[in-house]
Structure 1
Amino acid sequence: MEYIPVLVLVLSFVALLAIGTPVAWSIAISSVLTMLVSIPALPAFTTVSQRMGTGLDSFALLAIPFFVLSGQLMNKGGIAHRLIAFAKTLVGSLPGGLALINVIGAMLMGAIAGSAMASASAMGSILGPEMEKEGYSKEFGAAVNITSSTTGLIIPPSNVLIVYSLASGGVSIAALFLAGYIPGILTGLLLMIVASFWAKKKNYKRGERSSLRQVFKTFIDAVPSLFLLVVVIGGIVTGIFTATEASAIAVLYTMVLGFIYKEITFKNLPEILLESSITTAIVMLLIGASMTMSWVMSYENIPQDISSALLGVSDNPIIILLIINLLLLFVGIFMDMTPAVLIFTPIFLPVVTKLGMDPVQFGIIMVLNLCIGLCTPPVGSVLFVGVGVAKTTIQKVIKPLIPLFLAMIFALFLVTFFPELTLWLPRLFDL
């Protein structure tokens, strides 16, 4: 009898997704159906609606609309052009120089904007035509753009890490932000190595070597944008302000910067605010529905049952971690990142903590897993943005994507089995 709620939850959710129901509604409806197995209709509907409301009642979640807005302001405010110019002077003359520029630009843009889709859109529209002009294949450029755009979800500030903090019961956001730096940079470096080898194999054209004067000039131009990272992360780590307060400061800073660069005007603001509101509404609906499903699963003891089943498979931590990674990679293929974090953190976190893993390390592992899912069909949002911007098809992009996928999976392996890659910086700051 205890398996009936699990079957109802899984089968109804999969069936709703299969017929094209939006993810948030699929989560909410399957949660209601699961509750109806255990309690009468009126309490079931009341409980689910109440849980959707209380799931959003969190001070930490206020950071998300602010970071979304600051990302939109950066995307429209000319920051991407300056970051690309700086990256070009650093690596433009190396094999696959334009691909390497894309990776570095995406790491910087994603870290500042905190949005993989904003990064994919900005980098693809600016660098894509230039890469084609220099003889790079459209598909290779799209593959590099798609995979590198996800690094900004690991390198802070990251909305997904804030969501993980909420789902995990209060893991320090400052510790998670610091923990993301080395894995994010490591992933970017591995993508650069693969892209460079691919470009060398295809004999793509190199750029001209930049002088120290050009490097210095582009760096100075990019400093105001890069300084935002110092303000936001420095303020959070030193305790000057919380992540939510930092997000509001990021909005103010990027708005002023956009006006200084003369890329944003008062005429642009309504459109920027509207786009940010739409994105925020989508994210918040997903969070509310996902928090409901997490509660329903807890009510039905599903996380405890899965935890016991996993620990019953083997007492070898390596085997358990490999199974969890494979499950998360599979989940990432079919589910968007935010609901996946909220739903599966309560399931897997107790398992890994019993194995002795730090919750901070597991947060980075989970996000890195789901970043790979953003690049895979059928629901890979970054994949669709990257392919759309490049004006190509998913089928053509798959071949150059595969070696870049392998680079991301290797980074995931290193982060899983070498905890110091994640925990060194938080411990350095006693977080």
Structure 2
Amino acid sequence: MEYIPLLVLILSFICLLAIGTPVAWSIVVSATLTLLVSIPMLPALTTVSQRIAAGLDSFALLAIPFFVLSGELMNRGGIARRLIDFAKTLVGALPGGLALINIISAMLMGAIAGSALASASAMGTMLGPEMEKQGYDREFGAAVNITSATTGLVIPPSNILIVYSLASGGASIAALFLAGYIPGILTGFFLMVVAWAWARKKGYRTGERSSVGQVFRTFLDAVPSLLLLVVVIGGIVAGIFTATEASAIAVLYSLVLGLVYREITLDNLPRIALDASATTAIVMLLIGASMSMSWALSYEHIPQEISEGLLGITDNKVAILILINLILLLVGIFMDMTPAVLIFTPIFLPVVTKLGIDPVHFGIIMILNLCIGLCTPPVGSVLFVGVGIAKTSIEKVVRPLLPLFVAMIIALFLVTYIPELSLWLPSLFDL
């Protein structure tokens, strides 16, 4: 009897996804059916509705619409082009230079905009045609763009780290932001190694070597954009403002920058605000729905049962982390990142904390895991954006994607078992 709610939850959710029900509604219906095992229909429906509303009643979540809006402003304000120009002068002369430029630009763009979709869209649109013109396979360019775009979800400011802070019951956002730097850069480095090796094997030509003067000029051009990182992250870590206040400052800064660059006009603002609102609505609906399922899980004591089951198999930290990583990799294939974080954090966090694993470290492990899922079908949003922009198909992109997946998994393995990679920077600031 005690496993019936879990079975109802899993089977109903899988069946609803299989017949094409949107993820948010699949979550809500599954949560309702799970509660119906224990309570009558009217209380179940009322509770789910209340949980959806209560799940959005959080001051920290105000940061998400602001960061989404700042990302839209940056994407249209000429920031991506300046970051690409700077990256070109750094690595353009190396084998596979354009692929390396894509990865570095995506890391910088993701760190500033905090959006994998914005990064994939900007880099794919600007660099894709140029890579093809210089003899790169279209599929290889798409694969590099797709995987590198996810680094911005680990490198702060990141909306998904804010969501994890909410789901974990209070992990410091400032600590999570600092913890993401080294893992995000490490992932980008491994992707660059694979791209460089693939380019040498295929014989892709290199670009011209840049002079010190060119590097300096493009750096100066990119400095106003890069300063946003100093303002936002520096202000949060120094305690000058909260993550929510920082997101509002990011909007103001990116708007002023776009107007100064003359790539955003007042006529553009309604469309930018509308696009940001649409993205925010999707994210918030997923958060509200996921919070209702999290409450249903808690009410039916499912996290405790799973925790006891995992610890009943073994109490070896290495084995438990391998098992959790495998589960999360599988979850990432079938579920979008936001609901996955909100649903599985309450399930796995009690397990790892019993084993002495820091919640901040586990948050970075979880996000890195789910980043891989964004690049895989059937619900990999970044995969679909990257393939669509490159005008190719998923089947053709799979082959160049595989070695890049291996690079991401190696980075995940190192971050999982070397906690200092995540915790060193937060410890420097006593976070």
In which range does the TM-score fall when normalised by the shorter chain?
over 0.9
Q: How much has 1:36 moved relative to structure 2?
A: 1.2
Q: SS of the counterpart of 2:94?
A: coil
Which residue does 1:301 correspond to in 2?
A: 301
* Separation (CA, whole Å) in 2 of partners of 1:33 and 1:418: 41
Instruction: Write the mapping of 1:280-299 to structure 2, written as runs, cut at 5 A.
Output: 280-299=280-299
Structure 2 residues not aligned, in runs of 5+: none
TM-score by length of 2: 1.00
Deviation per CA, 1:202-224: give whole Å up to 9, x if none: 00000000000000000000000
What's the counterpart of residue 418 of structure 2?
418
Structure 2 counterpart of 1:211, one-letter code: S
* Structure 1 residues 176-232: Cα deviation after superposition (integer angstroms, max 9, x where no partner): 000000000000000000000000000000000000000000000000000000000
The one-character-per-residue Cα deviations of 1:150-195 (angstroms, maximum 9, x if unpaired) are 0000000000000000000010000000000000000000000000
Hey, what's the Cα distance between the residues in 2 that align with 1:121 and 1:52? 31
Q: How much does 1:122 deviate?
A: 0.2
Amino acid at match of 1:334: F
Measured in 2, the distance between the counterparts of 1:271 and 1:353 equals: 45
The CA deviation at 1:41 is 1.2
CA–CA separation in structure 1 for the residues paired with 2:265 and 2:293: 42
Listed one character per residue, the Cα deviations across residues 49-98 of structure 1 (whole Å, up to 9, x for unaligned) are 00111110000000000000000000111100000000000000011100
Q: Does 2:199 align with 1:199?
A: yes
Map of 1:333 onto structure 2: 333
Tell me, in whole angstroms, the C-alpha distance in 2 between the residues paired with 1:44 and 1:140.
Answer: 49
Give the secondary-structure state (helix, strand or coil) at the position aligned to 1:409: helix
Alignment partner of 1:253 is 2:253: yes
Partner Cα distance (2:5, 2:344) in 1: 17
Q: How many pairs are equivalent? A: 431
Aligned-residue offset at 1:15: 0.7
Q: Which moved more, 1:193-202 or 1:38-47?
A: 38-47
Q: Distance in 2 between matches of 1:356 and 1:34?
A: 31
Mapped to 2, the partners of 1:322 and 1:243 lie a distance apart of: 32
Residue in 2 that maps onto 1:66: 66
Q: Residue 165 in 1 paired to residue 177 in 2?
A: no
- Partner in structure 1 of residue 119 of structure 2: 119
Shift, 1:42, TM fit: 1.1
Distance in 1 separating the partners of 2:278 and 2:365: 29
User: Hey, which bits of structure 1, 4+ residues long, moved more than 3 A?
Assistant: none
Superposition TM-score, scaled by structure 1 size:
1.00
- Unpaired runs of 5+ in structure 1? none
Q: Which residue of 2 aligns with 1:11?
A: 11
Structural mapping, 1:76-115, within 5 Å: 76-115=76-115
Hey, what's the Cα distance between the residues in 2 that align with 1:391 and 1:64? 30
Structure 2 equivalent of residue 42 of structure 1: 42
- 1:321 is displaced (CA, Å) by 0.5
Q: CA RMSD in A?
A: 0.5
Amino acid at match of 1:421: L
After superposition, residues 238-249 of structure 1 pair within 5 angstroms as 238-249=238-249
Partner of 1:236: 236
1:189 counterpart residue number: 189
Q: Give the CA deviation at 1:2.
A: 1.3
Does residue 1:210 correspond to 2:210, yes or no? yes
Distance apart, 1:3 and its partner CA = 1.4
Q: Which residue of 2 aligns with 1:267?
A: 267
CA distance in 2, matches of 1:129, 1:41: 55
Q: Which range moved further: 171-180 or 31-40?
A: 31-40
Look up the match of 1:427: 427
SS at match of 1:163: helix
Deviates more, 1:310-319 or 1:401-410: 310-319
Q: 1:418 and 1:292 mapped to 2: Cα distance? A: 34
| Correspondence for 2:349 | 349
Q: Displacement, 1:140?
A: 0.4
Measured in 2, the distance between the counterparts of 1:311 and 1:93 equals 51
Residue matched to 2:388: 388
Aligned-partner Cα distance in 1 for 2:236–2:427 = 15
Question: Does 1:178 find its partner at 2:178?
Answer: yes
